[in-house]
Structure 1
Amino acid sequence: MRPMKKNTMRRTLPLLGVAVVLSACLLAAGCTGQTPDGTDNETVQGTDLNGTAWDLLSYTQNGSMKDALAGTTVTLVLGENNTASGSAGCNAYSASYTLDGTAITFGPAVSTLMYCPIEGLMEQESAYLRFLDTVKSYEVKDETLTFFDENGTAVLVFGKHVPPQPEPLVGTDWTLVSYHTGDAIVSVIAGTEVTAVFEEDGKVAGSAGCNRYFASYEVNGTEMTIGPAGSTLMACQKEGVMEQESAYLGLLGTVKTFTIEGETLTFFDENGTRILEFAKAVPPQPEPLVGTNWTLVSYHTGDAIVPVIAGTEITAVFNEDGQVAGSAGCNRYFASYEVNGTEMTIGPAGSTLMACLNEDVAEQESTFLGLLGTVKSFAIEGDRLSLMDENGTAVLVFAKAETPASLPLVGTTWVLDAYHLDDIVMPVIEGTEITAVFDEDGKVTGSAGCNRYFASYNLTGSSMEIGPAGSTKMFCAEPEGIMEQESTYLSLLGAVKSYTIEGDQLELLDERGWRVLAFTAKV
């Protein structure tokens, strides 16, 4: 019932005695609760609002009620611990509240600080939170909740909230919207993304804003515990990102229960405090397997997920000709691969044979090359590539790398990594170096491993032809096979019909478009 204004109270006093008599008569007669016009009065005064949830239907504006914006949802959840929370349309908010009969008041609301570009949404949100602070009483009628201000004017009208069908916990891509730190709800830093994907095998992984993280989890009904999180160890320079990441990973360890309502996942601690709130993410369009520069983020060995050693880089580029190549951290590697749907096999990897002085880097390289041979399937989610073994375990996880600016063909010293011979990728013999330098005057020169060589070349766009090569006539006895390697290299130059450069990688291709010579720029 709305509070009556003072002038209304004065007019009512002379009728009070009549009202008392009338009430007694009605009670004696077993009154039916009907209004004077004979309709049922379904107004429920003083209904306990604790534990109820509502959606905003309208709010006051310029003396009349205005419908909430179409396509937006403003929610109010009145928790058992006298904390109200929900979505104000764009941002999440919370406030304390006090109930006394039909009287209700709200404490100052705190909210996240995101901006949503939908026309009128931020103005509606501001009005909603402002009116919430003016509420003094309420009325529930026909599953409609109305809040009144101190003058008895309706300021907010809600309909009973009907929870949408919840998204599944497992397999949904969740993006963090806000988190609780101290006594405040904090929105995620603009331009950063914190994510979580729960797998059926009891693993959760995602981005903590800078680093990739991974942890185990257990669920029993709505109860949940998340084990200590491991992560990669990169440092991000953007202000506040590392502090946000640390807070997020710490809060994961305090999770005790969870709820999913529609596309919102909420985690609570042992006190029932809402500590993390996620929204369902729309998976980005997957990057193509072929032609994308992939950088390894982590690999699975034993029962552990291990981040790549800081300061090292392991890469992979899958080409259309069924070859994959990249850096294994120390050496360049190359292998064939086959794909059938989401199935994948990778043939034995060859590599250059440089010595890695750091033992940990050498061990990481050996592990990576070994895991390539265990791959049986793959999945791409946005800019993430996961290679799985026969058990479905993600043994190698890559992220899309920004394509570096390509070095110029002319003037760069290119060092041969590998050459193709009878469909076999052959690494350059350890202890030998084959180079190529293309000059502006249409000459290519370099070392063929033993002798210096020289040839002319012609370019038309990406097409290239290299004339017959001449060379000095020295004989090198060691290492074994060096003269055969030199002869093969010089003959393959004559098979070149085009070239590609990606970053510091030069590939010379034959008339079929197959790679015959693969170089890396010399630093």
Structure 2
Amino acid sequence: MVMRPMKDTMRKALPLAGTAIVLAACLLAAGCTGQAPGGKDNETVQGIDLNGTAWDLVSYAQNSSMVNALEGTPVTLAFGENTTAGGSAGCNRYSTSYSVDGTAITFGPAISTQMYCMKPGVMEQESAYLGLLNTVKTYEVKDDTLTFFDEKGTAVLVFKKHVPPEPEPLVGTDWELQWYNDGDAVVSVIAGSEVTAVFDEDGKVAGSAGCNRYFASYTVNGTEMTIGQAGSTLMACTDEDVMKQESTYLRLLGTVASFSIEGEELTLMNANGTKVLMFAKAVPPEPKPLTGTNWTLESLHTGDAVSSVIAGSEITAVFDEDGRIAGSAGCNRYFATYTVNGTEMTIGPAGSTLMACTDEDIMKQESTFLSLLESVASFTIEGDRLSLRDENGTAVLVFKEAQAPVALPLVGTTWVLDTYHLGDIAVRVIEGTEITAVFGEDGKVTGSAGCNNYFATYNLSGSSLTFGPAGSTKKICAEPEGIMEQEERYLSILKAVRSYEIEGNQLKMLDMNGWRIFAFNAKV
């Protein structure tokens, strides 16, 4: 969303350079005239130089009385250079001009960003505040309180001097972009998109650019900062505005020359001192558990390049509590063992089915993925993202939590065999053959074993599943080659089944050790 254009003067005012304003009720004994009881004026300063001060709003006029500002949504006013002022109106950033003559003060029309905040009362308070600024005619400073009066001498806005909070550290804080300055306008981050930055101790900054993940190097010397050319994954999001915002953000990162942190706000400036990027501290979501979560791969890091997963392909990972990882490698199903010690992780050599997909790029991606799995030495989980890192700490594989599909019922679904296991080898069903299983409510399972139809009884108890002896028709099929041997194996292995699991449209049958021996997909 684009904000109304802001002049350079506003951008200089946005820093909140020293003090901030909070609304507080006007309780001055002499009707807010600035005169202390008894006619003395030893606590009140009129005509103070406001330049460089900042204030937090405490209260404002509403329906002929003063009401307290909402908690948790600070309204601020900072007086900058060249008679410019600005700050936060509670939801949006604003800027205005001002002029002072003794105790007389007036504000020019305010311009602001155009975000909408959902918290009740915030937008109404913001509108009232910006409207009241236009009514201000005089002011008074008493101790740490600043009061604005309208033309009738009635207090309309009351502030307290801003006490800057302890700044958050640059390193180790999750920063979320609020707005950026593209040179022509100050622009709010598009609603629903998320642009983030995390600076680490090794001089690397990374995060989400709105669509793609990005990474770059950075150096700091005091408040000076330079950020190297950013690399990123290469996904193409359908929202053109999000892609344009991403391009602008990555370009502006390269212009950064300095930074400042006030409380929970990080501002990055260019060589002219113009604020180009403003972040607020992000509250990291609760990390997902490693096991029991479905992970979908977002990017692979090979050498100096980060690659997005090929559009239309899907690489997944599910870690179970028994030290096994399995999923789709893009074409084939894969499986491996893993061990975890704190944040350390090792993954054993992966086995997989032996399909050959026609897309060579997908097969190359699959080979790269399986190779990178063996390089994993540690892992981190931040919110809904899992990063698998090599021994150098490089995130070689980055996954995002995937929503688990709704599990189909065992009974009444036609299940088609995808792979079966012979020891540690996963064998793909011969192309041109189909092995099926249909569980009836009468405790019988029927289907095709590839050549013949078969039938057997089955017993269910929770996730336990066993089969009785299987019978079948007596045809002999000559083609394709190996079909009769495959049928014999299938009917023989049925006897080893002891339990089952269903994840969405996938059925797994497991042996007494919990190892998968059959993998079925629901027939569409």
TM-score, with structure 1 as normaliser:
0.81
1:426 is aligned to: 425
Distance in 2 between the 1:160 and 1:114 partners?
A: 27
User: 1:299: Cα distance to partner?
Assistant: 1.7
Distance in 1 between the 2:271 and 2:448 partners?
A: 69
User: Structure 1 pair 170/120, CA: closer, same or farther in 2 (3 Å)?
Assistant: same
Distance in 2 between the 1:514 and 1:315 partners?
A: 19
1:195 is aligned to: 196
1:88 is aligned to: 89
SS at match of 2:141: strand
Deviates more, 1:365-374 or 1:262-271: 262-271
User: Structure 1 pair 429/62, CA: closer, same or farther in 2 (3 Å)?
Assistant: closer
2:456 is aligned to: 456
User: Structure 1 pair 361/118, CA: closer, same or farther in 2 (3 Å)?
Assistant: closer
- Write the deviation string for residues 259-309 of structure 1: whole angstroms up to 9, x where unpaired: 222222222333333333222222112222122221111122112322222
1:21 is aligned to: none
Q: What is the 5 A alignment of 1:403-442?
A: 403-407=404-408, 409=410, 410-419=412-421, 421=423, 425-428=424-427, 435-438=435-438, 440=440, 442=444
Of all paired residues, the percent bearing the same amino acid is 67
User: 1:462: Cα distance to partner?
Assistant: 4.4
- Write the deviation string for residues 323-381 of structure 1: whole angstroms up to 9, x where unpaired: 21112122221111122232221110011222243333322222211111111221111
The code of the aligned residue for 1:300 comes to H
C-alpha contact 1:321 1:514 (8 A) present in aligned 2:
no
1:13 is aligned to: none
User: 1:192: Cα distance to partner?
Assistant: 2.8
1:171 is aligned to: 172
C-alpha contact 1:353 1:430 (8 A) present in aligned 2:
no
User: 1:151: Cα distance to partner?
Assistant: 4.2
C-alpha contact 1:455 1:467 (8 A) present in aligned 2:
no
Distance in 2 between the 1:219 and 1:476 partners?
A: 73
The code of the aligned residue for 1:160 comes to K
2:26 is aligned to: none
1:57 is aligned to: 58
C-alpha contact 2:413 2:522 (8 A) present in aligned 1:
no
Deviates more, 1:455-464 or 1:346-355: 455-464
User: 1:480: Cα distance to partner?
Assistant: 10
User: Structure 1 pair 89/359, CA: closer, same or farther in 2 (3 Å)?
Assistant: same
CA RMSD of aligned residues (A): 3.4
Distance in 2 between the 1:236 and 1:353 partners?
A: 32
Deviates more, 1:161-170 or 1:119-128: 119-128
2:109 is aligned to: 108
C-alpha contact 1:233 1:310 (8 A) present in aligned 2:
no
1:329 is aligned to: 330
User: 1:430: Cα distance to partner?
Assistant: 8.9
Distance in 1 between the 2:336 and 2:257 partners?
A: 46
- Write the deviation string for residues 128-151 of structure 1: whole angstroms up to 9, x where unpaired: 111122334433331322333344
SS at match of 2:176: strand
User: Structure 1 pair 370/157, CA: closer, same or farther in 2 (3 Å)?
Assistant: same
User: Structure 1 pair 292/445, CA: closer, same or farther in 2 (3 Å)?
Assistant: same
C-alpha contact 2:415 2:520 (8 A) present in aligned 1:
no
Deviates more, 1:366-375 or 1:460-469: 460-469
Distance in 1 between the 2:399 and 2:179 partners?
A: 27
C-alpha contact 1:378 1:387 (8 A) present in aligned 2:
yes
User: Structure 1 pair 353/96, CA: closer, same or farther in 2 (3 Å)?
Assistant: farther
Deviates more, 1:120-129 or 1:157-166: 120-129
Distance in 2 between the 1:478 and 1:62 partners?
A: 87
Distance in 1 between the 2:415 and 2:67 partners?
A: 71
- Write the deviation string for residues 94-140 of structure 1: whole angstroms up to 9, x where unpaired: 22334555444333223333444444333222221111223344333
Distance in 2 between the 1:357 and 1:81 partners?
A: 66
The code of the aligned residue for 1:172 comes to T
User: Structure 1 pair 246/491, CA: closer, same or farther in 2 (3 Å)?
Assistant: same
1:29 is aligned to: none
1:223 is aligned to: 224
User: 1:474: Cα distance to partner?
Assistant: 6.3
1:121 aligns with 2:122: yes
User: Structure 1 pair 165/479, CA: closer, same or farther in 2 (3 Å)?
Assistant: farther
The code of the aligned residue for 2:264 comes to E
Distance in 2 between the 1:512 and 1:233 partners?
A: 42
Distance in 1 between the 2:124 and 2:477 partners?
A: 83
C-alpha contact 2:338 2:346 (8 A) present in aligned 1:
yes
1:249 aligns with 2:267: no
User: 1:87: Cα distance to partner?
Assistant: 1.7
C-alpha contact 2:167 2:263 (8 A) present in aligned 1:
yes
Distance in 1 between the 2:134 and 2:51 partners?
A: 18
User: 1:514: Cα distance to partner?
Assistant: 4.2
User: Structure 1 pair 366/522, CA: closer, same or farther in 2 (3 Å)?
Assistant: farther
User: 1:470: Cα distance to partner?
Assistant: 4.3
C-alpha contact 1:455 1:466 (8 A) present in aligned 2:
no
SS at match of 2:159: strand
2:24 is aligned to: none
Distance in 1 between the 2:198 and 2:299 partners?
A: 16
Distance in 1 between the 2:320 and 2:36 partners?
A: 79
SS at match of 1:494: helix
Distance in 1 between the 2:378 and 2:256 partners?
A: 33
Distance in 2 between the 1:437 and 1:300 partners?
A: 41
1:19 is aligned to: none
2:309 is aligned to: 308
Q: What is the 5 A alignment of 1:466-485?
A: 466-470=467-471, 483=485
The code of the aligned residue for 1:264 comes to E
User: Structure 1 pair 300/76, CA: closer, same or farther in 2 (3 Å)?
Assistant: same
Deviates more, 1:395-404 or 1:55-64: 55-64
1:288 is aligned to: 289
2:265 is aligned to: 264
1:402 aligns with 2:385: no
TM-score, with structure 2 as normaliser:
0.81
User: 1:200: Cα distance to partner?
Assistant: 2.1
User: 1:486: Cα distance to partner?
Assistant: 6.4
Distance in 1 between the 2:191 and 2:429 partners?
A: 50
C-alpha contact 1:420 1:515 (8 A) present in aligned 2:
no
The code of the aligned residue for 1:206 comes to G
Distance in 2 between the 1:374 and 1:158 partners?
A: 58
SS at match of 2:130: helix
User: 1:165: Cα distance to partner?
Assistant: 1.2
SS at match of 1:166: coil
Distance in 2 between the 1:139 and 1:147 partners?
A: 7
Gaps of 5+ in 2: 1-34
C-alpha contact 1:376 1:390 (8 A) present in aligned 2:
yes
User: 1:519: Cα distance to partner?
Assistant: 3.3
Distance in 2 between the 1:202 and 1:496 partners?
A: 53
Number of aligned residue pairs: 484
RCO higher in structure (CA 8 A, sep ≥6): 2
1:381 is aligned to: 382
Deviates more, 1:70-79 or 1:453-462: 453-462
